[in-house]
Amino acid sequence: MNSKEKALNIKKVSAGAAGILLGLVLVLCMVIPAIGQGLPPKPPESFWGTVTLNGSPAPAGTIISARVGGMEVAATIVDSQGRYGERLPFLGPWSTTGSLLVSADYDGQTVQFYVGGALPAGSATVAYGMFTELNLSATGVLQYILTLGSTAGGNVTTPGEGNFTCAAGGKVTMVAAADTGFHFGNWTGNVTAVADVNAAETYVIMNGNYNITANFAADTAPTPTPVVTPTLTPAVTPTPAVTPTPTPAVTPTPTPAVTPTPTPAVTPAPTRTPTLTPTPTPMPTPTGPTPTATPVQTVPPILTPSPTIAPTTPTIAPTPTKTIAPTPTPTPAAGGGTNIGVIVGPIIAVIVIGAVAFWFWRGRKPKMPGPTT
């Protein structure tokens, strides 16, 4: 490989590397803004430590306020051991009242802390995501304003209604009295430091400025029980005794015996049975001698006796049955014989028909061919 070829290859490699580098730059230009938009928000800064007031632990419930530029950005209260906030978890819990978190939006700015919301107790520069131990200390007389009021139906008798200046951490007794027809309901407002919000007589620990109201409600009127007026039942007039009237005895009237009248026996008149005279059937005139007709025989009438009807219960006599005399069959006269024409005629007809049929059959019979010579 000569020098020209080497130089050409070097140019090609350089051009390829430059193209790859340019592509990576373009990709980064598109990806970096997207990554910046999807980043999680910055965590706040957590402050924790102890609180003292005039050299002693601040009373439990004392308010700790964090302010940036005079505006409150976070707040918590002191626990029973004079502590506030939460430290790193692996160090274990610190206070029992929760964390004091300042947003990362105030990163780099100065935050000022106040005890009781009035006495300055310390300051720090916000650094997001940090757990910062800051022990707060304040001196002076810390006072709070307690504002008390009430609704219709009663009033606050102790210490009264209006604005009262109280020492920080002081215990103030509150008593509410209801008017006639009303009863005490509860205390509402800034009642986190009130001992019992449902008691008419209770107290509040002054750890801040509080506005509290006593509420009253009207008594429920009892429902009157209706008076039941007894209904007078009228006296019952006794019914006079009824004297029964004796019923006269009924004398039965004897029923006369009924004598049956005998029914006379009905003797029906004898019915004459008509004699049917058979009409002789005309016979064909024979070729031989004429037969003599048999004389008609007259049958005498048959009298059927009728049954006698009993005198008590009449019985319907059966209807007498008419007896029809048999029709005599005419007998040919003596000396007559069978008509020969009736027998011979059919025989001759059968012979003639047979002869004609044989002749016809012979005429249609095919002739057999003779022997060939």
Q: Give residue 299's pLDDT.
A: 47
Identify the residue whose tokens are 């947003």: 103
Q: Give residue 76's pLDDT.
A: 94
Average pLDDT for 217-245: 72
Q: Give residue 359's pLDDT.
A: 77
3-state secondary structure of 162: strand
Q: Give residue 31's pLDDT.
A: 59
Q: Give residue 148's pLDDT.
A: 96
Q: HSE-up of 173 (CA within 13 Å, CB side)?
A: 4
3-state secondary structure of 50: strand
Q: Give residue 22's pLDDT.
A: 72
Q: How far apart are CA 44 and CA 73, in angstroms?
A: 12
Q: Give residue 256's pLDDT.
A: 58
Per-residue confidence band for 142, with pLDDT thresholds at 50, 70 and 90: confident
DSSP state of 104: G
Q: Give the pair of three-digit tokens for residue 64.
A: 């700790």
Alpha-carbon distances, residue 367 vs 357, 370, 371 (angstroms)? 19, 9, 13
Choice between 72 and 314, residue whose per-residue pLDDT is larger: 72
Q: Which residues contact 130 (CB under 8 A, 6 or more apart)?
A: 45, 46
Q: Give residue 330's pLDDT.
A: 46
Q: Is it the case that residue 351 has pLDDT exceeding 50? A: yes
Q: Give residue 295's pLDDT.
A: 46
Q: Give residue 217's pLDDT.
A: 95
Q: Give the pair of three-digit tokens for residue 286.
A: 């024979």
Q: Give residue 310's pLDDT.
A: 47
Neighbours of 25 (CB within 10 A): 9
At position 33, the amino acid (one-letter code) is P
Instruction: Choose among 357, 362, 301, 294: nearest CA to 327.
Output: 294
Helical (H) or strand (E) element with 175: strand 170-178
Superfamily grouping for domain 45-138: Carboxypeptidase-like, regulatory domain (2.60.40.1120)
Per-residue confidence band for 168, with pLDDT thresholds at 50, 70 and 90: confident
Instruction: Choose among 300, 301, 296, 299: nearest CA to 279.
Output: 296
Q: Give residue 189's pLDDT.
A: 95
Q: How far apart are CA 332 and CA 190, in angstroms?
A: 160
| Domains of the chain by residue range | 45-138, 143-218
> Which residues on neighbouring strands pair with residue 155, listed in sequence order?
177
Per-residue confidence band for 110, with pLDDT thresholds at 50, 70 and 90: very high
Choice between 235 and 366, residue whose per-residue pLDDT is larger: 235
Q: Is it the case that residue 108 has pLDDT exceeding 80? A: yes
Q: How far apart are CA 132 and CA 99, in angstroms?
A: 12
Per-residue confidence band for 358, with pLDDT thresholds at 50, 70 and 90: confident
At position 88, the amino acid (one-letter code) is L
Choice between 345 and 335, residue whose per-residue pLDDT is larger: 345
Q: Give residue 253's pLDDT.
A: 61
Neighbours of 86 (CB within 10 A): 20
Average pLDDT for 62-79: 94
Per-residue confidence band for 346, with pLDDT thresholds at 50, 70 and 90: confident
Q: Give residue 315's pLDDT.
A: 47
Choice between 234 and 280, residue whose per-residue pLDDT is larger: 234
Q: Is it the case that residue 181 has pLDDT exceeding 70? A: yes
Q: Give residue 39's pLDDT.
A: 73
Q: How far apart are CA 40 and CA 129, in angstroms?
A: 12
Neighbours of 97 (CB within 10 A): 18
Note the pTM of the prediction, 2 decimals. Answer: 0.42
Mean pLDDT of all residues belonging to the chain: 76
Q: HSE-up of 109 (CA within 13 Å, CB side)?
A: 16
Strands 45-53 and 143-150: unpaired
Q: How far apart are CA 317 and CA 264, in angstroms?
A: 14
159 by Cβ neighbours in 10 Å (0-12 / 13-18 / 19+) ranks as: middle
Q: Is it the case that residue 361 has pLDDT exceeding 60? A: yes
